[in-house]
Chains A and B, each alone.
Chain A
Amino acid sequence: MNELYYIIFLPLIAGIVLSAFPERIKIIKGIIALIITGITFFFSLKLFSVSEKIINLDLFSAFFNEGTFLNNILQEANRFSRFNIDNLSKFITLAIGFFGLVIIVYSLSYISKTRQIKNYYPYFLITLGFSAGAVLTDNLLLFIIFWGILGLTLYKLIKGYDEESSSAAKKTLILIGASDGIMILGIGIIWKVYGTFTMSELSIPTTYPILVVAFLALLTGSFTKAGAFPFHTWIPDYTKSAPASSSAYLPASLDKLLGIYFLARICTDMFTLNQWLTFLMLLLGVMTIIFAVMMALIQHNYKRLLGYHAVSQVGYMVLGLGLGTPLGVAGGLFHMINHALYKSGLFLSAGSVEKRTGKENLDELGGLSKNMPVTFISALICALAISGVPPLNGFASKWIIYQGIIDFGKEPGIANQLWIIWLGLAVLGSALTLASFVKYITGIFLGRKRKELEGIKEVSILMWMPNAIIAFLCIGFGVLASTFVVPKLIMPITGEFAYIGIWDSTTIGILILVSILLGILIYLIGNIKNFRTEDSFIGGEIFREETSYSVVEFYKGIRDYKLFSFIYNWAEKKWFDIYEISKKLTLGFSGLLSKAHTGVLTFYAIWILTGLILMIIILTLMS
């Protein structure tokens, strides 16, 4: 299987080699990285056409000759290098290759001048290799190693230059590392009970408490990576401080792909869920949707706003996969790929805006639609897609998930009885998403333009092109959802299923597109010059800067509403942040222990004596 070498090890080795070269030749490094990513994408396309199989890859003989000392001692490790090429992993690998390619093109222009991240390209390539490795491997140990290294590259792709960004980097690696540690527990339990690390051999019922613990441990890992409640808190901080290309690459696309991939693996292949676990997953799913979107509504910083949405959308995927029905799983996976598309598109557009204006807050921006038309159109399409407006892809996948929930309600069970709640909250979340994206689009691209933003120009083709491609795919995936995308990409993974609702995406999509085109035509035919443009009317007063209200102000009402303001206050004090809570607990306990260390020597001698006597007593009693 040559493809696997090219997909996993080529970027890895290239990344390690590139990191040895000095930073001065950054452009060359970028171009080499682009070529490598292109090759990887090509081979992941090729892999997509390979039929399903499990292969044992000879990892080391490729590098060391047969019979040499190194070959001999490394040979035994080959039993761990089992790779599973099934429809799911092929699909995810292809998506990883695609996003890698698009984002590296964007990075070429974005990274080289503005944000100096050391070794950006090497870590980019290493991330690419390990992501593909984590998806394709069939061995849990190899998986956790790859998975863990991805946390490290995530940490290296953000730069800690001030208090806030350093804290974000720290928080990110602590949460990711913690979840990896917890996953090891789950893997250990599986190994203890089943004696194997091979994922494809496992089929675990969640009937015994210990197996439930194993499931929850692995679930923690995938939730943290994908960013679902309650382990999501690193994402908004990370996206706020990291360069937009890093945010688009990891938290928005690759981490989602990986996290949801693993969630799909454990929920559908490795474990059979009992009804309480289903209930738990659905509950966490809707909580993710609602909490994150509520937080997104009140954000001023647009990258942080996108970060909260990167969390909120995960809720839909968790909902879909939690249902466990083919319809639900298909919806979840389809939403995952859609999310990766529109969210990375949104981050790229945010990056373009930030690069051109250097501003990070919505209330400092506005009216950029004329200056940056391509970025505006792409951002608009992505924003409509994430809000679930038909015929875009976000609607298509949410629609499948809604159908899945309704279908799910027909079965008996605790979680099933509550289907109307899941459905209602999911739809509500979608509406709130639209509300907050009105803020995003209006705040940046529409409204009054500030004086200092006059000279802003569109970004270079290397930056708008990837963004436009992604926006175009958002339309394509939406319009072709029921005719091409779902049957060709998703159905091979989940098996055949029937919709319970009717939605012929192509017909309706074409109808909508035609009507939009007609609208544009009418707009163009009717002479534009005839339109009169006026300043905002404010009671006859002359418009002045200080009287202008930014779009952010409109959302203050939510913040001030009594019940919500109470919750928001708590949230701002970080009472819902699992990281902050654990930090407080840990430091509290640490302070207590430190108080016991007075530095008085006699006191320490007493400890020793106490320890000695206790041991004598215990040992005498025991024997």
Chain B
Amino acid sequence: MSTLVTLFVILPLATAFLIPVIGRVINGFQRTITALIFLFLSILSVYILINVNPHIYTYKIGGWEPVNGIPIAIYFVLDGLSTFMLVVINLIGAFAALYSIPYIKRFTAENNYYALLCLMVGGMNGVVLTGDLFNLYVFLEIAVIASYALVAFGVEREELEASFKYQILGGIASILILFGIGMLYWNTKSLNIADVSDILKNTENNKAYLVFTQVFLITGFGLKAALFPFHAWLPDAHSSAPAPVSTMLSGVLIKVVGIYSITRLFFNMFEISVEVSTIIIVLGVISMVFGVFLAVGQWDIKRLLAYHSNSQMGYVIIGLGMGMLILANNGSKPVAALSIFGGLFHLINHAVFKGLLFLNAGAIEFKTGTRNLKEMGGLSESMPLTYSTSLGASLAISGIPPFNGFFSKLIIILAAIKGHFYLLAFLAVLVSIITLASFMKFQKFSFFNKANLSPGRKINEVPFFMCFSMVALAILCLGLSLLIFPGVREIIIDPAVDVLMNTGSYFSAIME
């Protein structure tokens, strides 16, 4: 089983290598193989999630065993949280790849596109699997550098500018992260996350040193997760990229390189502290509130969606942060578990509905040639599937039952009230209302209203594979509501919650 784990990294990377070679000779290779590989990996990850969950698998690259308790090999660690993230990455990846088949045909250099997509997914899979700080950085860079190129894929003025900004700010983030990792290595002489956590726990640490390292890491990963005030690259980058790439960026990338890393390091590596969790909550709240206010005024569909990614990440972060704060205060464990569950639940929900919304936006752009809400209208007649799927996703993100977003927000709000965070609960509701308002605006101007399209354009439904991805994700929007049932939750999210709840047991689970 543990050797299978490496497939998640090897397969996409190998495909990324093969595509420019074989894709040049065999036309269609790049599209088929990417979609197939992602589908296979998502099935594999779902299989692992359902069947083999309670166990932790570690894979030591090179097979080197620890010497005197000091890990020498690079570790791949598959625990509940990693499995959960793998499902998110590969599932959304598979749908994005399927969607790309018709969508990317209008661009040249298909080979490059699919190779970069594989690199990005491979990098993200590496990030969630690795148990090693430096490898975390390397995989993160693989994923992020691939995304720089993908954002610029349209090679128009706007795309290049967005990609440039993204690279500069992403570069700052990478330096901060690398610096933080360097600080940790300097003090602990180890890069293995489990080992570092053990050393940090057992030695007396200088406060200033810890504060410095933690802030660098929070800033670095916060930049990647686009938390306020580190968000400025996101609206440009996410709106300029081709639609399936926006789906991957907004739906998966910011979660994996940003939120997953923060969660993993601050729950499992550092000892949880009240101060850090407060900072994390504050960042989350600021993102949540400011993001939505920025979003509601936008007229560019994808920019609107991009700002909502900021805002929705705020929900995930406060869910996780409240859990952390309650744990740090030795508060009630069930409430902390509920809160973390809410955060992770919202994470997977957001991946699905935001991914879907970007695909919808892509479909609209594909047919109408514009992203400006003022220049479209009346599309519900001509694009019924796009309309109904986007309505589902819009209601999901706005928290209208029976869609998944309602349940995750409900849980976050209930946990906030139960944990005495009344202000957070209130803000969560307020943000949810404004989210609803801005998505009603999206629905109204794109699908209802009178058509303001440039004359002579005949609008019809998008090709099959684009529809397929959208419908599948829309079904997931409804289906993920089932996670609210305790029986389903136990199988899918509880293992991930357990990893975060038992903050100290990461070391023992891996090293012993």
Which residues of A come within 8 Å of B, CB atoms? 72-77, 141, 144-145, 148-149, 151-152, 160-163, 165-167, 169-170, 173-174, 177-178, 180-182, 184-185, 187-189, 191-192, 583, 586-587, 589-591, 593-594, 597, 599, 601, 604-605, 607-608, 610-612, 615-616, 618-620, 622-623
Contact = CB atoms under 8 A, between A and B. Distances in A.
B448 A607 contact: no
B21 interface: no
A55 to B, nearest CB: 21
A610 B286 CA distance: 15
B433 A160 contact: no
A169 to B, nearest CB: 7
B297 A591 contact: yes
Interface residues of B, number: 70
B114 interface: no
Interface in B193-223: 207-208, 211-212, 214-216, 218-219, 222-223
A192 B417 contact: yes
Interface in B228-264: 229-230, 232-233, 235-236
Contact of B429 (A149, A161, A184, A589): A184
Nearest to A183: B429
Contacts of A601: 165, 168-169
A337 to B, nearest CB: 28
B404 to A, nearest CB: 12
Contacts of A152: 395, 400-401
Given A174-B433, A192-B417, A591-B297, 6 more contacts: A148-B401, A160-B448, A161-B448, A166-B449, A188-B413, A622-B275
B448 A73 contact: no
Contacts of A608: 169, 172, 219, 223, 229-230
Chain B interface helix/strand/loop/mixed? helix
A403 to B, nearest CB: 40
Nearest to A180: B400
A170 B443 contact: yes
A587 B429 contact: no
Contacts of A163: 449-450
A170 B433 contact: no
Interface string B271-302: 00111101100000000001001101100000
A610 B229 contact: yes
A170 B296 contact: no
Nearest to B165: A601
A-B pairs, top 8 by smallest CB distance, nearest first, are A73-B487, A160-B448, A590-B297, A188-B417, A604-B232, A166-B448, A148-B401, A170-B440
Nearest to B275: A622
Given A597-B232, A608-B219, A623-B275, A74 B417 contact: no
Given A160-B449, A590-B294, A173 B440 contact: yes
A152 to B, nearest CB: 6
B53 interface: no
Contacts of B432: 181
Contact of A615 (B165, B219, B414, B447): B219
14 contacts: A76-B487, A166-B448, A169-B440, A170-B444, A173-B400, A174-B440, A181-B436, A187-B414, A191-B418, A594-B297, A607-B232, A619-B211, A622-B275, A623-B207
Given A181-B399, A597-B294, A607-B232, A619 B172 contact: no
A149 B401 contact: yes
Query: Which of A162, A170, A583 has the largest count of B CB atoms less than 10 A from its CB?
Result: A170
B398 interface: yes
Contacts of B290: 593
B417 A586 contact: no
B60 interface: no
A187 B429 CA distance: 13
A209 to B, nearest CB: 11
A173 B436 contact: yes
Nearest to B212: A616
Contacts of B429: 181-182, 184-185
Contacts of A591: 297
Contacts of B276: 619
A169 B444 contact: yes
Contacts of B383: none
A162 B449 CA distance: 4
B410 interface: yes
A593 B222 CA distance: 20
Given A77-B486, A610-B229, A178 B433 contact: yes
Nearest to A150: B401
A605 B450 CA distance: 42
A607 B296 CA distance: 22
Nearest to B227: A611
Contact of B491 (A73, A77, A184, A620): A73
Query: Which of B176, B219, B448, B491 has the largest count of A CB atoms less than 10 A from its CB?
Result: B448
Chain A interface helix/strand/loop/mixed? helix
A586 B233 contact: no
B88 to A, nearest CB: 21
B204 to A, nearest CB: 14
Nearest to A149: B401
Given A177-B436, A623-B275, A167 B444 contact: yes
A604 B426 contact: no
B91 to A, nearest CB: 20
Given A177-B436, A593-B293, A604 B219 contact: no
B487 A586 contact: no
Interface string B143-187: 000000000000000000000010011001000100000000000
A73 B212 CA distance: 46
Query: Which of B208, B229, B235, B426 has the largest count of A CB atoms less than 10 A from its CB?
Result: B229
Interface string B416-452: 1110000001100100111011001101100111100
A184 B413 contact: yes
A162 B448 CA distance: 7
B487 A74 contact: yes
Given A593-B293, A615-B218, A166 B444 contact: yes
A198 B332 CA distance: 23
A607 B229 contact: yes
B479 to A, nearest CB: 13
A604 B487 contact: no
Contacts of B400: 148-149, 151-152, 173, 177, 180
A198 to B, nearest CB: 15
A610 B215 CA distance: 12
Nearest to B176: A612
B279 to A, nearest CB: 6
A520 B274 CA distance: 84
Given A178-B436, A181-B432, A583-B437, A192 B215 contact: no
Contacts of A589: 293
B283 to A, nearest CB: 8
Query: Which of A145, A612, A622, A623 has the largest count of B CB atoms less than 10 A from its CB?
Result: A612
A615 B279 contact: yes
Given A184-B410, A615-B279, A605 B487 contact: no
B487 A75 contact: yes
Interface in B469-504: 484-488, 490-491
Contacts of A185: 413, 417, 425-426, 429
A424 B497 CA distance: 60
A151 B433 CA distance: 14
A189 B413 CA distance: 10
A297 B436 CA distance: 33
A618 B279 contact: yes
Contacts of B484: 77
Query: Which of A152, A188, A607, A608 has the largest count of B CB atoms less than 10 A from its CB?
Result: A608
Contact of A76 (B176, B214, B485): B485
A367 B230 CA distance: 67
A332 B512 CA distance: 69
B20 interface: no
B352 to A, nearest CB: 18
B406 interface: yes
B485 A73 contact: yes
Contacts of A605: 168-169, 172
